[in-house]
Structure 1
Amino acid sequence: MTLALKASSQRVQDFLDQHGVELKVKQMTESTRTAAEAADALGCQIGQIAKSLIFKNKATGTPVLLVASGANRVDTKKVEKATGIKLGRADADYVREHVGYVIGGVPPIAHSQALTTYLDPDLQNYSTVWAAAGTPNSMFELACDQLEKLTQGAWIEMAQ
Structure 2
Amino acid sequence: MHDHPNVTAVREALGGAEIVILDEAVHTAALAAAALGVTVGQIANSLVFDADGEPLLVMTSGAHRVDTGKVEALLGVGRLRRATPEFVREHTGQAIGGVAPLGHPKPLRTLVDIDLEQYPVIWAAAGVPQSVFPISFAELVRVTSGTPAEVA
Q: TM-score range by the shorter chain?
A: over 0.9
CA deviation after TM superposition for structure 1 residue 62, in Å: 1.5
Contact 1:5 1:26 in 2 (8 A): no
Partner residue in 1 for 2:59: 67
Alpha-carbon shift at residue 101 of structure 1 (Å): 0.3
Identity %: 43
List aligned pairs for 1:64-143, cutoff 5 A. 64-85=56-77, 86-143=79-136
AA aligned to 1:119 is V
**Residue 15 (structure 1) aligns with:** 13
* Contact 1:23–1:141 (CA under 8 A) maintained in structure 2: no
Q: CA deviation at 1:70?
A: 0.3
Q: CA deviation at 1:31?
A: 2.1
User: 5+ unaligned residues in a row in structure 1: which ranges?
Assistant: none
Aligned mate of 1:150, from 132, 137, 143: 143
Distance in 2 (alpha carbons) for counterparts of 1:87 and 1:13:
30
| TM-score, normalising length: structure 1 | 0.90
CA contact 2:20–2:131 (8 Å) conserved in 1: yes
1:55 is aligned to 2:49: yes
Instruction: State TM-score, norm by structure 2.
Output: 0.94
The one-letter code matched in structure 1 to 2:87 is: Y
Query: Secondary structure at the residue paired with 1:118?
Result: strand
1:80 maps to amino acid: E
Which ranges of structure 2 fall in alignment gaps of 5 or more residues?
none
Rounded to whole Å, the distance in 2 between the matches of 1:23 and 1:122 is 24
Does the Cα contact within 8 Å between 1:31 and 1:41 map onto a contact in 2?
Answer: no
The whole-number CA distance in structure 2 between the counterparts of 1:157 and 1:121 is: 6
What letter is aligned with 1:128?
A: V
| Amino acid corresponding to residue 94 of structure 1 in structure 2 | F
Q: Deviation of residue 113 (structure 1)? A: 1.6
Distance (whole Å) between structure 2 residues aligned to residue 89 and residue 4 of structure 1: 29
Q: CA deviation at 1:4?
A: 3.4
Q: CA RMSD in A?
A: 1.2
Distance 1:142 1:43 in 2: 16
